[in-house]
């Protein structure tokens, strides 16, 4: 067979295949629908409370100090490098390092309120709010100085570098970055824009955060040690005795003499008793706080409390039990036969 004949047969076969394909068209493959991106948000806690991470509430991160007592924290190893974070006093098992201007309870107010407003939005998106509404929510007026304080606090929260590490319920968590990833304000409208990184969600993993009673906290405005104690004890459903030295360490108090801190502590406890009805009991140097639990904590206590058998409903008696009682009630009735 010549090359021309071979070429003609190939062309004929291709043409036959084309006609067959056109006569029997194959359905087009279904288009792959893009998988919707997973939306990452903060928990949706109710309006009267503010969500806050336990790791921060149980530490000296938001120190119980007045604003004029703030310090610059961090170790500058060389001019061209960013400062390294210093260790912040925290509960056993937690590690906190921080570099930046020291944060206090006012910064905690701003951070918790910003989280509260961002909880309805996916993380890494901008959350908008007006300065007047925000200041009112944290117990401040719309005076010019209060706007300046708010700007300064948001800047501290955005610039400070945080390294957190904690374990709970067999899981290990790490957070590194800024508590607020972005902040801006329009000067004329006083409209604020704040954004949080997706990683902030790890601070709100199960059993890692607390709902703070906001009305109680704002009632303690201007009393940083009382606010710290309120936040700390809010993380415990059933507070246990603690020493003055332990609280001195975890509050970040600038007092160098423990005796002087004890005076501050007793004054703060008096404020909590007068304002919220909390009771403080001393056993030597051990302090125990008695306070009514929040609704959330009351449910936690009920779940954890062992059931009292004396309060359980009696079991229903079986028919065998009833039949055993009948001869005593009706003497003429014969006794039931013994079990074989």
pLDDT by residue (tens digit) across 208-233? Answer: 999 999 999 999 999 999 999 999 99
Q: Average pLDDT of 230-237? A: 95
Supply the pLDDT for residue 300: 59
Structure tokens at 98: 């921080």
As a whole number of angstroms, the distance between CA 78 and CA 302 comes to 55
Summarised one tens digit per residue, pLDDT across range 58-75 is 999 999 999 999 999 999
- Percent of the chain scoring above 70 in pLDDT: 76
- pLDDT exceeds cutoff 80 at 330: no
pLDDT of residue 315: 47
Sign of CA dihedral 126, 231, 212, 70: negative
More confident: 315 or 95: 95
Mean pLDDT calculated for residue range 167-193: 94
Task: Give residue 249's pLDDT band: very low, low, confident or very high (50, 70, 90).
Answer: very high
Distance of alpha carbon 291 from alpha carbon 229, whole angstroms: 12
Contacts of 45 (CB under 8 A, 6+ apart): 51, 116, 119, 211
Residue 164 CA neighbour count, 13 Å, CB half: 27
- Produce one character per residue of 214-243: b if its CB has 16 or more CB atoms within 10 Å, e if not: bebbbbbeebbbbbbbbbbbbbbbebeebe
Residue 280 in tokens:
């403080």
Q: Say what the pLDDT of residue 237 is.
A: 87
pLDDT-derived band at 198, boundaries 50, 70, 90: very high
Select from 131, 181, 169 the least CA-distant residue to 151: 131
Give the per-residue pLDDT at 339: 45
**Is the separation of the CB atoms in 128 and 193 below 8 Å?**
yes
> Cβ distance 140 to 122 under 8 Å?
no
Mean pLDDT of 159-177: 96
Whether the per-residue pLDDT at 312 is higher than 60: the answer is no
């Amino acid at each position: 067979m010549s090359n021309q004949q071979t070429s003609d047969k190939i062309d004929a076969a291709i043409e036959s295949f084309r006609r067959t394909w056109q006569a029997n068209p194959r359905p087009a493959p279904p288009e792959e629908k893009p998988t919707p991106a997973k939306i990452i948000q903060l928990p949706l806690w109710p309006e009267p409370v503010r969500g806050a991470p336990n790791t921060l509430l149980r530490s000296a991160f938001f120190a119980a100090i007045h604003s004029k007592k703030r310090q610059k924290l961090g170790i500058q190893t060389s001019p061209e490098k960013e400062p390294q974070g210093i260790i912040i006093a925290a509960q056993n098992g937690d590690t906190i390092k921080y570099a930046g201007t020291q944060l206090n309870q006012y910064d905690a107010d701003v951070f918790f309120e910003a989280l509260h407003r961002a909880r309805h939005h996916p993380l890494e998106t901008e959350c908008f709010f007006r300065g007047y509404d925000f200041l009112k929510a944290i117990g401040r007026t719309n005076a010019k100085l209060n706007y300046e304080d708010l700007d300064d606090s948001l800047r501290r929260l955005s610039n400070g570098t945080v390294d957190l590490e904690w374990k709970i319920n067999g899981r290990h968590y790490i957070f590194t970055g800024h508590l607020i990833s972005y902040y801006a304000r329009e000067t004329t409208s006083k409209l604020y824009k704040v954004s949080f990184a997706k990683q902030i969600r790890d601070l709100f993993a199960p059993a890692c955060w607390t709902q703070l009673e906001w009305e109680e906290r704002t009632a303690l405005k201007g009393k940083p040690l009382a606010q710290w104690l309120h936040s700390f004890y809010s993380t415990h459903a059933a507070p246990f005795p603690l020493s003055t030295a332990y609280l001195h360490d975890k509050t970040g108090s600038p007092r160098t003499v423990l005796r002087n801190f004890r005076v501050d502590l007793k004054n703060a406890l008096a404020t909590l008793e007068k304002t919220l009805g909390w009771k403080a009991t001393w056993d030597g140097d051990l302090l125990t706080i008695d306070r009514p639990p929040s609704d959330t904590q009351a449910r936690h206590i009920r779940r954890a409390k062992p059931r009292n058998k004396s309060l359980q409903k009696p079991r229903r008696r079986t028919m065998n039990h009833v039949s055993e009682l009948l001869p005593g009630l009706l003497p003429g009735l014969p006794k039931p036969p013994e079990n074989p």
